[in-house]
Amino acid sequence: SFSTAASASAVATTPPQLPPFDHDPKPYTGPSADQVFQKRKQFLGKMQYLFDENGRRYLDAFAGIVTVSCGHCHPDVLNAIFEQSKLLQHATTIYLHHAIADFAEALASKMPGNLKVVYFVNSGTEANELAMLMARLYTGNLGMIALRNAYHGGSSGTIGLTALNTWKYPIPQGEIHHVVNPDPYHGSFGSDAARYAQDLQDHIDFGTSGKVAGFIAETIQGVGGAVELAPGYLKLVYDIVRKAGGVCIADEVQTGFGRTGSHYWGFETQGVIPDIVTMAKGIGNGLPLGAVVTTPEIANVMAQKIQFNTFGGNPVCSAGGLAVLRVIDKERRQAHCADVGSHLLGRLRTLQERHDIIGDVRGRGLMVGMELVTDRKEKTPAKAETAVLFEKLRDFLVDALDYSMSKL
């Protein structure tokens, strides 16, 4: 236990003499990134490029792991991190500090409807864990509904939501129902959103007591292969889920922050407003950062117990996150995603006309996928052929992506 103020003042009669402390650190005068690189020969990231220890340049078409939304070591983000580091490097979410308050306010201003309460965590997995907890506590129900082919995290809770065999471990998965994926290319109902929605209704009717805690989906499945949900699907299933007492969660870990080009958030492409939104990856340009945004009503239920996160909303990460939001606006990154994405889609479709092995070209903004098949009719996934084709496509892809660079 801590000593009380009274007993503390009884002991400390004269204030201790502290050594002088320079609270106004001098500007950084050390070597530049280039000088450090020349000396130490380490990896270096600069906007869309990575350099290896021999100075060889690579175009990072994967943007980290779809995390580097503004470019590696973007000067504005670097500057924000550096400036905040001089003031305060650590505080938990128990304390309200300026960096966390400014960032939360800016993030909330990007959300529609009543999505105004922000929780900071450290990753997408943690964000989805918290969202699932909120859904269960708020509704008093246990059952969660997720889509087949989804990826929502790798913790023992979120692995239950994930429905990709490569990522599953044989552990208890909780009460989770995986419904037929509204995948226009592979799904047996094509783009017929109503038939996929009926499958979800059937799961509720036959697989639960009739009540569920929540439904979670990415609007474009990322790890599952740039699969955009059939148009109109979310509108239909949000109604069904809410009638069954559940809340609707949008996983924006990959689709958020303008990456779809047409909209700031992926869920907007389907004309819905979720009850809980989870985000990570691009939110911090690669910093360990995640967030959950929800309504005051749902947030209220979390106030029953202490809810805090040691590193969540870390001041340095919060300052970096705020800088990311500003760069996206200032440099019109959403419009850039739309522009470069439609160019890329167009070029890939031209290529598809020439090569039977390209079964499908799909996506939106800078979330674009190309599926390789051995048989277009059967849609059999290509395996050994992939490497050979990729070699042929390399120059073309680099050329298409070069367009993006000329725009920066």
Indicate the residue among 69 and 208 with the shorter CB distance to ligand PMP. 69
Indicate the residue among 247 and 358 with the shorter CB distance to ligand PMP. 247
Q: Which stretch binds ligand PMP (CB under 6 A): 29-37, 53-61, 147-155, 176-184?
A: 147-155
**β-strand 220-221 against 380-381: which pairing, if any?**
unpaired
Q: At closest approach, how far in Å is the CB of 273 from ligand PMP?
A: 19
Among 103, 119, 151, 267, binds ligand PMP (CB under 6 A): 151
Rg (CA), the chain: 24
Indicate the residue among 48 and 128 with the shorter CB distance to ligand PMP. 128
- The residue number with the shortest CB distance to ligand PMP is 124
Measuring CA to CA, which residue among 248, 274, 225, 320 is closest to residue 115? Answer: 274
In one letter, which amino acid is 47? Answer: M
Among 223, 249, 291, 316, binds ligand PMP (CB under 6 A): 223
**Residues 317-336 interacting with ligand PMP (rule: CB under 6 A):** none
- DSSP structure string for 237-261: HHHHHHHTT-EEEEE-TTTTTTTTS
Asked if residue 160 binds ligand PMP (CB under 6 A), the reply is no
Greatest Cα pair distance in the chain: 86
Q: Which stretch binds ligand PMP (CB under 6 A): 74-82, 83-91, 150-158, 335-343?
A: 150-158
What are the DSSP E strand ranges found in 143-213? Answer: 144-147, 176-179
Per-residue CA distances from 62 to 50, 162, 225, 358 (Å): 11, 22, 13, 20
Asked if residue 232 binds ligand PMP (CB under 6 A), the reply is no
Among 84, 125, 219, 318, binds ligand PMP (CB under 6 A): 125
Q: At closest approach, how far in Å is the CB of 147 from ligand PMP?
A: 11
Per-residue CA distances from 85 to 60, 78, 88, 332 (Å): 28, 10, 6, 27
Asked if residue 253 binds ligand PMP (CB under 6 A), the reply is yes
Q: Residue 72: count other Cβ atoms within 10 Å of its Cβ.
A: 21
Among 45, 71, 124, 256, binds ligand PMP (CB under 6 A): 124
Q: At what angle do helices 75-87 and 315-330 cross, to 10 degrees?
A: 150
Asked if residue 227 binds ligand PMP (CB under 6 A), the reply is no
Structure tokens at 166: 């490569």
Asked if residue 364 binds ligand PMP (CB under 6 A), the reply is no
For ligand PMP (CB under 6 A), the number of binding residues is 14
Q: Which stretch binds ligand PMP (CB under 6 A): 35-43, 79-87, 246-254, 296-304?
A: 246-254
Beta bridge partners of 117: 294
Are residues 273 and 298 in contact, defined by beta-carbon separation less than 8 angstroms?
A: no
Q: Burial code of 326-339, b = ≥16 C-beta within 10 A, e = fewer?
A: ebbeeeebbebbbb
Site string for ligand PMP, 82-121 (x = CB under 6 A): ----------------------------------------
Asked if residue 222 binds ligand PMP (CB under 6 A), the reply is yes
Give residue 199's Cα distance to chain centre.
27
Asked if residue 234 binds ligand PMP (CB under 6 A), the reply is no
Q: Which stretch binds ligand PMP (CB under 6 A): 52-60, 180-188, 215-223, 232-240?
A: 215-223
Half-sphere exposure of 291 (CA within 13 A, CB side): 28
Asked if residue 218 binds ligand PMP (CB under 6 A), the reply is yes
Asked if residue 219 binds ligand PMP (CB under 6 A), the reply is no
Indicate the residue among 121 and 400 with the shorter CB distance to ligand PMP. 121
Q: At closest approach, how far in Å is the CB of 281 from ligand PMP?
A: 6
Binding site for ligand PMP (CB under 6 A): 123-125, 128, 151-153, 218, 222-223, 251, 253-254, 280
